[in-house]
Amino acid sequence: MRVIVAGVGYRNLRDHSIGAAVVDRLVDHPWPGEVVVEDLSYNPIAVMQRLDDEPRDRRFARAVVIAAVERGDRRPGTVTAYRWDGVLPGAEEIHRAVTEAVTGVIALDNTLVVTRHFGALPDDVVVIEVEPEVQEFGDTFSAVVASAVDQVCDLAVVMATDAGAVARLRRAPLGGGCPTSRP
């Protein structure tokens, strides 16, 4: 089964850079041949095109997507993992997501909505979110997010390689996962 492990976020935006930082650390991990590690921190329309460019017989069967997301109901540094139920919002929200995508907004929810709407995303999507503490320019994480990086890397490896662990995750809407750890 082909799996893509993907980071989403802005480089040099402190805690919001965790997706890219995790991908940077995992790219040299000794992966099985069917696992691809890639930074998808760019326009969601381009992400959709990149995924859609895969040959039909070589499409990814699972995506493990890592990002910092402010949900507001978690303490900073909280790591949350879930299997996205794939339910898309209504037409107005999809239109907003596509509009934001073409204007350069890079965000987890937006990327998933756009790529699912256009049929490029695999059915099996594992989301690993980290609640950020700071949103400002810089190349260092806050202390609570920095302390979660190893755990996020380990979790991404497990979700990419252990179908049993994926099956045990709760299926949930975007943002609806259960925390796997709290700082």
Residue type, 127: V
Asked if residue 7 lies in contact with residue 40, where contact means CB atoms within 8 angstroms, the answer is: yes
State the pLDDT at residue 183: 58
Q: Record the tokens describing residue 57, joined without a space.
A: 């017989």
For 124-152, how does the pLDDT look when each residue is reduced to its tens digit (9 = 90+)? 999 999 999 998 998 999 999 999 999 99
pTM of the model: 0.93
Q: Record the tokens describing residue 170, joined without a space.
A: 């709760």
Question: What sign has the CA pseudo-torsion 74, 77, 80, 178?
Answer: negative
State the pLDDT at residue 114: 95
- Which one-letter DSSP state was computed for residue 77? T
State the pLDDT at residue 178: 60
Mean model confidence pLDDT for the chain = 93
Rounded to the nearest 10 degrees, what angle do helices 108-117 and 91-102 cross at?
110
Q: Record the tokens describing residue 131, joined without a space.
A: 């609640």
Q: Which residue has the higher pLDDT, 111 or 175?
A: 111
What's the mean pLDDT in 24-43?
A: 95
- Which one-letter DSSP state was computed for residue 56? G
